Structure 1
């Protein structure tokens, strides 16, 4: 998985692109598995309608060579797409320092969860008009996702380093060896950095989830309040009783909770 603000090209195969704000997630797609013979069969079946189209266009006065060129281009495009889809996807190594490459499963799963929560946050913005500035909220959310990708990329490097240090520490080295002491010291530093990176990633994940929950809760409460007000007016009209104080919950205090959640996201 590559998280970048700039387009990433594929050397082979196909990519799945998911845009969230100014960040784009690039994930390699699995190959289609079609063999060369299957692609040739499909192209042969496609050739018949293309020949008919060429004949029809020629009958209506179009130059036959233009029709042949157009149909040939369509066939070549289909062949190229199928041939590329059959190849294993390989990403071009991003040279942009702002691109983050996540290849370990735990870090990829964590970022996928953050993307799902960020989409929940964005879906609440239309209903929160006047409470938050969508432009500033978008910047804060994108910054949080970028920081999370950077933290997860650092954490997966630490994961690899800890595995290498653990292998060295378990090697057949004398207990009183200075090298063994140095490795033990580096292990402690790597473990501390590992815990710090995990805490930072969890903090960002919690802030995004909190913003999503606060917005969704506010919207649900406002819907419940509107339903209560409608029921009150309907009962007053049907029973003839005077309308009492609206029974919908007061949402003014809830506004502060939503704003606080977005402030925590921007922090």
Structure 2
């Protein structure tokens, strides 16, 4: 079964996506309970800790689970640690060794330990980047669509080791990272259009005199926003389908290769058992060639986003 990607309202025949900033080096994708953040720069946490996982040039950031320690438990740990450090300073003083510097280092260490414990106890929340290259998705629809696209990208990457003869993994990684960045930019733009669209729909509910210039201006703006809404929906659906097609084609080709190997092994075994000469070439060859062409075409489709 193939994993479904979220499709957005807007039609059946998507257009070509608009150009967006290229991914330079790494692409950082952060997902927490309230938003998705995509940025070429390293993501930071507002609260809590993060788990970072690197997939080629894509680094995924998800909040770590809170430690669950209560404030009383953390204070008890600090007291125990502080008592041990105090005893150490007393011992140093007893041997005539200066204790002031170790005492200061102990205080600094307690402060750091307390800060680390407090941070680990809080739920993780990503900080919102302040650079113009970052894309932040807050709307539920856009977040779900992007999270599913990231999940499908994992399936694509899992096919690369067995497809090295057909696909350059380095080039495919760059193409996939650019596609994910462009999809984030498009969904962020669609998110803004969604807000404006809702505002215009709400304004249209106000009662205005027939033929009012304000009503006519509002209708014109609503028409333009609806056109943008449809266009971004078509483009987003095209990009989501392209990602899903690349994953499906790669997985199908791998299954075909496995079945082909099994068929060839069975053919050799049957030939040996029947004590006959070698039979003709396997009929799986032409179909395998077609599948090979299909996977290459799928990755070419991904490359058209650039």
Q: When the two structures are superposed, what TM-score results if normalisation uses the length of structure 2?
A: 0.72
Compute the RMSD of aligned alpha carbons: 3.2
Q: Are 1:6 and 2:6 matched, yes or no?
A: no
SS of equivalent residue, structure 1 residue 123: helix
How far 1:157 moved relative to its partner?
0.7
In structure 2, C-alpha distance between the alignment counterparts of 1:248 and 1:182, rounded to whole Å: 66
SS of equivalent residue, structure 1 residue 150: helix
How far 1:73 moved relative to its partner?
7.3
Q: Match for 1:157 among 192, 198, 213?
A: 192
How far 1:152 moved relative to its partner?
0.4
How far 1:37 moved relative to its partner?
2.0
Q: Alpha carbons of 1:221 and 1:41: their partners in 2 closer, same or farther (altered >3 Å)?
A: same
In structure 1, C-alpha distance between the alignment counterparts of 2:172 and 2:147, rounded to whole Å: 20
Q: Are 1:265 and 2:291 matched, yes or no?
A: no
In structure 2, C-alpha distance between the alignment counterparts of 1:203 and 1:95, rounded to whole Å: 30
SS of equivalent residue, structure 1 residue 98: coil
> Which protein has greater RCO, CA pairs closer than 8 Å, 6+ apart?
2
Q: Are 1:141 and 2:176 matched, yes or no?
A: yes
Q: Match for 2:138 among 99, 103, 106?
A: 103
- Give CA deviations for 1:94-146 in whole Å, capped at 9, x if unaligned: 23322111111111111111111111111111111121222221221111111
Choose 247-256 or 33-42, whichever is displaced more.
33-42
5+ residue gaps, structure 2 = 1-35
Aligned to 2:254: 219
In structure 2, C-alpha distance between the alignment counterparts of 1:33 and 1:164, rounded to whole Å: 42
Q: Alpha carbons of 1:20 and 1:178: their partners in 2 closer, same or farther (altered >3 Å)?
A: farther
Q: Alpha carbons of 1:247 and 1:71: their partners in 2 closer, same or farther (altered >3 Å)?
A: farther
Q: Match for 1:183 among 177, 193, 218?
A: 218
How far 1:20 moved relative to its partner?
4.2
In structure 2, C-alpha distance between the alignment counterparts of 1:79 and 1:248, rounded to whole Å: 68
In structure 2, C-alpha distance between the alignment counterparts of 1:77 and 1:197, rounded to whole Å: 48
Choose 74-83 or 106-115, whichever is displaced more.
74-83
5+ residue gaps, structure 1 = none
Q: When the two structures are superposed, what TM-score results if normalisation uses the length of structure 1?
A: 0.82
